[in-house]
């Protein structure tokens, strides 16, 4: 039996943002290894006899270490023909998809990458915030707001952020105070627009807007998963809001 692992992006939350290709492999999967950020409703599209393995983080339980997840995927590939590793957003955007692919490559397991709609652009869009807009910003940057224990986001080259660039922080809610401090230190105005979007693209979506001067206090009303978007494009929300 020749097996194949599909490292599959589940999108940001709205099940209708799942790609056609992702849906196809989910419907034929023998086993689905999924994390918490993948909408659980997606599993209803799978075969009745599919095995499902949860490797995400639940309240009161520790996350399965990445090394163990890699091995779980590998062992499933030895047992099943069609293996789907379902990851929230896109597997190659802070999703450890590269690490999992390398682990499989080293062990001679065939794999395929199925990109997903990343929350970095889709969640702001559902909040009525374009990450780029002509005349406002020429670029946007996606930055991790959380790094492994041996590293710290304080080590990011904050001085490299250009003045009119949109900055999107993923997984940064618990570090928002540090993020704001660093941006102010490199010269961002305290009046610079910010937004926090929780549970983006879902019925639970909540958007908090403010500036660098008050967004930390306002963040107390935000919940995970959240993204933080910083830039003048946030001011377009009032004109472009549609989802909520």
pLDDT at position 150, please?
46
Return the CATH number at 63: 3.40.1010.10
Mean pLDDT over each residue of the chain, to the nearest integer: 93
**110 and 125 share a domain?**
no
| One domain, residues 27 and 96 | yes
Q: For residue 151, what pLDDT is reported?
A: 58
pLDDT (0 to 100) of residue 145? 84
Q: Please tell me the predicted confidence (pLDDT) of residue 162.
A: 79
Catalytic residue among 14, 87, 90, 171: 171
- The mean pLDDT of 228-234, rounded to a whole number, is 97
Rounded (5°) CA angle 222-196-137: 175
Global pTM value: 0.92
- Whether the pLDDT of residue 125 is over 90: the answer is yes
Which position among 24, 47, 57, 105 bears the catalytic label?
57
pLDDT, tens digit, for every residue of 17-67?
Answer: 999 999 999 999 999 999 999 999 999 999 999 999 999 875 545 578 999
Helix (H, G, I), strand (E, B) or coil at 184: helix
Task: Round to whole Å and give the CA distance between 199 and 222.
Answer: 9
What pLDDT is attached to residue 58?
58
Pair 91, 176 in one domain: no
Catalytic residue, from 14, 35, 87, 90: name it. 35
Integer Cα distance of 34 and 32 in angstroms: 6
Strands in the chain per DSSP E:
4-9, 31-34, 51-54, 82-87, 110-114, 140-144, 166-170, 193-198, 206-211, 226-230
pLDDT confidence of residue 163: 82
180-204: pLDDT as tens digits: 999 999 999 999 999 999 999 999 9
- Give the dihedral sign, CA 231/232/238/240: negative
CATH of the domain at 140: 3.30.950.10
Token pair of 191 as six digits? 């009046």
Report the number of distinct structural domains present in the chain.
Answer: 2
Q: Would residue 1 show up in a list of annotated catalytic residues for this protein?
A: no
* Domain final position from 114, 148, 176: 114
Look at the block and give the residue holding tokens 């001679």: 108
Query: What is the rounded distance in angstroms from the CA atom of residue 17 to the CA atom of residue 32?
Result: 19
Q: Is 14 a catalytic residue?
A: no
Domain edge (last residue) among 114, 130, 149: 114
Q: Does 127 share its domain with 231?
A: yes
User: Domain check: are 50 and 152 in the same one?
Assistant: no
131 and 91 both lie in a single domain: no
Could you tell me the pLDDT band of residue 153, with boundaries at 50, 70 and 90? Answer: confident
Q: Are 108 and 17 members of one domain?
A: yes
Show which of 114, 139, 160 is a domain's final residue.
Answer: 114
Rounded to an integer, the average pLDDT of 127-156 is 85
Q: Which domain holds residue 222?
A: 119-240
Q: What share of the chain is helix, strand, coil (3-state, %, to 5)?
A: 35, 25, 40
């Amino acid at each position: 039996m020749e097996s194949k692992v599909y490292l599959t992006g589940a999108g940001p939350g709205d099940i209708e943002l799942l790609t056609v290709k992702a849906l196809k492999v989910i419907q034929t999967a023998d086993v689905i290894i999924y994390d918490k950020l993948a909408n659980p409703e997606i599993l209803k599209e799978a075969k009745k006899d599919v095995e499902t393995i949860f490797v995400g983080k639940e309240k009161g339980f520790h996350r399965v270490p990445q090394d163990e997840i890699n091995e779980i995927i590998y062992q499933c590939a030895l047992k099943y023909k069609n293996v789907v590793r379902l990851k929230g957003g896109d597997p190659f955007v802070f999703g450890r998809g590269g690490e999992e692919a390398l682990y499989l490559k080293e062990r001679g397991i065939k794999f395929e990458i199925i990109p997903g709609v990343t929350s970095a652009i889709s969640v702001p869009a559902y909040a009525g915030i374009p990450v780029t807009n002509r005349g406002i910003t020429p670029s946007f940057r996606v930055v991790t707001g959380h790094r492994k224990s041996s590293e710290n986001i304080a080590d990011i080259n904050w001085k490299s952020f250009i003045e009119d660039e949109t900055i999107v922080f993923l997984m940064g809610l618990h570090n928002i105070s540090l993020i704001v401090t660093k941006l102010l230190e490199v010269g961002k105005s305290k009046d610079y627009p910010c937004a926090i979007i929780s549970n983006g693209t879902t019925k639970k979506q909540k958007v908090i807007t403010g500036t660098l001067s008050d967004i930390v206090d306002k963040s107390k009303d935000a919940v995970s998963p959240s993204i933080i978007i910083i830039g003048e494009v946030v001011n377009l929300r009032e004109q472009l809001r549609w989802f909520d």
